[in-house]
Structure 1
């Protein structure tokens, strides 16, 4: 196959599969009420439906990249896409909340294999820096368009064909992606000496799962019940064990030395906080629209279009703003926009909702690429792969925590309206905290270093 044709084939296959992944991040929220009625799922069950996916995605993302390095990006990409597609079928036929949550975990694992390997395939097919930048830009744009269209597609499918259709729609797209990827050239000989940090992987997975479980399930038995206190203790011990393992392992999945760079550490923290606020707000406002305001799935999907459309638009414009103004003040302004959007949702009414959705979408779309660039510049070139995976893991972890925390706040208080207000205040507070952190980090980075005498 001629090189340009091979490049087009790789780009088509990877862009289609990434669009599938991003579609799944936004299509499910507008079907939550229908799932709750169809499977008799509680709010905590709905939290698990969302968080199970992001939890599995976050837990396995770093290992997915390492597996691709060892066994070949094409092979692992195919395995991930097949797993995601089969798991989508399992989601669509799930007969109980437990089956649906288990299938969502499998979807997340498939995505964790697929995403890093798709970037590696692009890297292999496009050796030139400019070629590669254009290819990754198109790849990311396809994901942004899919995410923007997700609520509308999900709302229409749910209203006309039922909630199961939002998973069945993945099947033809996934099969097309598999066929396209199968026709790609075989992987070049992959190195066989890549070592895996299985103890670190286990400790990280246990810590995240226990923490999310405590946050979601804490209200029912009581926050001081033996079950919840035991879960909190497991999360703490596993988290400390993960840090201890990573500090001593010669093959650490997360080299802690990266965090000695203040800009990288700050970028990772604010990226996680941005995802926490965005996906937490996405979850609770979806419940508000459908359970409290009585929106149909299609109406709810239309209400979210300004948010997701602004995410896609701001992602495309982010680099121009950064080039003109730098990252310090625009990032701080974006987090203030988050806070204004969260507080604006308290006002009610069509216009405040619209303006709030626009503000939240612009903030989220701008922050993700704007936080990535300085982080990648702060690390050595040979650490770029693990640094990028760390940022993506931080975002997925933040997303899982956002759904768990905001969902629990929304249901812990006597009424959903009071709980929603608490979640919105929390979103505003976390956003302002992130703005303060970023401002301090960048101010410190701008200070000239004193030379030793």
Structure 2
């Protein structure tokens, strides 16, 4: 197999591409399992940790902070120092922090462990797409592998809450984290055996200041969003937002002047990179934000517990898995990645809109058709995002591209969830108020998806690479 220009591979045996794909897909799956597990167990978790209302919000949001803060840095590190090494290190960090979650005596310990678990998950996610780009040449093979990666993404979202809910019903919510730790160690061992090490042909100096400023900026932004969900005028939230602005402005200044910037800001002038970044951000602001809040809505509005809500949402997440696998067969020479992204965003907007116009007399089966539509569209979107994230950056910087793309996705979801929560809360506290707020939030998140699709369609290159 010829290497992508700009990449080097550490001499080793010739492991099967299939096993390599299995290892990175499994790592991606476990990251999403870890990310979604608290959705089904927030009530017993909060009770065990003696967490109040604010504590519950932090339990649900803490991993997002670690993810968004470390994704871009992890991608740059993976490209320069080894993608397999970064992938395996991320899995071991996820395993270690899972053990801490098992024994955590209080909210602070659990939240800190989840933030670090997000850092590990960032290393796994960014390096996994870099490994795929290195292993599979551009074209049908990479499109097929990206479809499997997208399916693993959907599968993790589907399985995480269900496994956590079942573990809590059988033994304790802590059992889910023990199983996660064991699975992460097993996947790391598999990766060490079957994944060939690779890195950029010309490693660059570590952008320490860029990495620090980005982590502080995004971490402060997400922490401020979490705090503001209870009170938009909260002094701590305002201070965090102020710190985020200062750190991110400094980050841009450092990256513009640096000789080896972590993120080459000139990439934003390339329409393909801009299109996939906007698509990822719109995905977070739209479908991910709405469905992250949906478990709370189903519980409060319909009396469906988190495990039941997770099973209902399987009609979305499981459908997205199948659609991601089928999307591998879409010929890119006929339907470009940019068009696939736009189609996916329009599809999820249609699915989201189908969840609106509900009231206290609505029954839960009413949601299933819309969830199925959103699932098909999400599958197409996830597969295209995985492929375009690495195709839109220079050869040898694929993990950085994956990190930038996923950073946009998780920052978008953090902003979107905050918007949804504030809109619903602003309508009042009665059951009818809940439905009124939900209907407005649904249409707004659908609008985010449509705006994202429109921007993506305008990012047509002079010669549309297909």
Normalised by the length of structure 2, the TM-score is 0.83
Partner of 1:49: 59
Residue 120 of structure 1 deviates from its aligned partner by 4.1
Shift of the 400–37 alpha-carbon distance from structure 1 to 2, 3 Å rule, reads same
Shift of the 27–244 alpha-carbon distance from structure 1 to 2, 3 Å rule, reads same
Residue 394 of structure 1 deviates from its aligned partner by 0.9
Q: Is the 1:64–1:116 contact (alpha carbons within 8 Å) kept by the matching residues of 2?
A: yes
Residue 97 of structure 1 deviates from its aligned partner by 1.4
Distance 1:41 1:22 in 2: 24
Q: Is the 1:51–1:403 contact (alpha carbons within 8 Å) kept by the matching residues of 2?
A: no
Distance 2:377 2:186 in 1: 34
RMSD value, Cα: 3.5
Partner of 1:359: 373
Q: Is the 2:68–2:219 contact (alpha carbons within 8 Å) kept by the matching residues of 1?
A: no
Q: Is the 2:150–2:382 contact (alpha carbons within 8 Å) kept by the matching residues of 1?
A: no
Shift of the 99–403 alpha-carbon distance from structure 1 to 2, 3 Å rule, reads farther
Equivalences, count:
448
Shift of the 196–426 alpha-carbon distance from structure 1 to 2, 3 Å rule, reads farther
Residue 243 of structure 1 deviates from its aligned partner by 1.9
Residue 445 (str. 1) matches residue 454 (str. 2): no
1:102-158 residue CA offsets vs partner (Å, 9 max, x unmatched): 111111111122233334445555679766555554444344333333333233222
Shift of the 198–416 alpha-carbon distance from structure 1 to 2, 3 Å rule, reads farther
Q: How does 1:198-217 map to 2 (within 5 A)?
A: 198-217=208-227
Q: How does 1:298-377 map to 2 (within 5 A)?
A: 298-318=307-327, 320=329, 327=339, 330-331=343-344, 333-343=346-356, 348-371=362-385
Distance 1:74 1:380 in 2: 20
SS state at 1:169 partner: helix
More helix as a share of residues: 1
Shift of the 289–161 alpha-carbon distance from structure 1 to 2, 3 Å rule, reads farther
Q: Is the 2:289–2:413 contact (alpha carbons within 8 Å) kept by the matching residues of 1?
A: yes
- Single out whichever of 329-338 and 280-289 deviates more from structure 2: 329-338
SS state at 1:445 partner: coil
Q: Is the 2:80–2:200 contact (alpha carbons within 8 Å) kept by the matching residues of 1?
A: yes
Residue 83 of structure 1 deviates from its aligned partner by 0.8
Distance 2:214 2:401 in 1: 17
Shift of the 441–218 alpha-carbon distance from structure 1 to 2, 3 Å rule, reads closer
Residue 390 (str. 1) matches residue 404 (str. 2): yes
Partner of 1:228: 237
Shift of the 92–336 alpha-carbon distance from structure 1 to 2, 3 Å rule, reads same
Residue 4 of structure 1 deviates from its aligned partner by 5.5
Distance 2:327 2:53 in 1: 35
Q: Please point out which of 223, 235, 238 is paired with 2:247.
A: 238
Q: Is the 2:41–2:165 contact (alpha carbons within 8 Å) kept by the matching residues of 1?
A: yes
Residue 299 of structure 1 deviates from its aligned partner by 2.1
Q: Please point out which of 424, 429, 434 is paired with 2:444.
A: 429
Residue 272 (str. 1) matches residue 281 (str. 2): yes
Residue 320 of structure 1 deviates from its aligned partner by 5.0
Partner of 2:127: 117
Residue 14 of structure 1 deviates from its aligned partner by 2.8
- Single out whichever of 126-135 and 388-397 deviates more from structure 2: 126-135
Shift of the 98–346 alpha-carbon distance from structure 1 to 2, 3 Å rule, reads farther
Partner of 1:23: 33
SS state at 1:343 partner: coil
Shift of the 345–253 alpha-carbon distance from structure 1 to 2, 3 Å rule, reads farther
Shift of the 195–404 alpha-carbon distance from structure 1 to 2, 3 Å rule, reads farther
Normalised by the length of structure 1, the TM-score is 0.85
1:345-378 residue CA offsets vs partner (Å, 9 max, x unmatched): 6573122222232233333333233456566655
1:228-270 residue CA offsets vs partner (Å, 9 max, x unmatched): 3322221222222222222222222221111112443233123
Partner of 2:296: 287
Q: Is the 1:207–1:235 contact (alpha carbons within 8 Å) kept by the matching residues of 2?
A: yes
Shift of the 86–272 alpha-carbon distance from structure 1 to 2, 3 Å rule, reads same
Question: Structure 1: which 5+ runs fail to align?
Answer: none
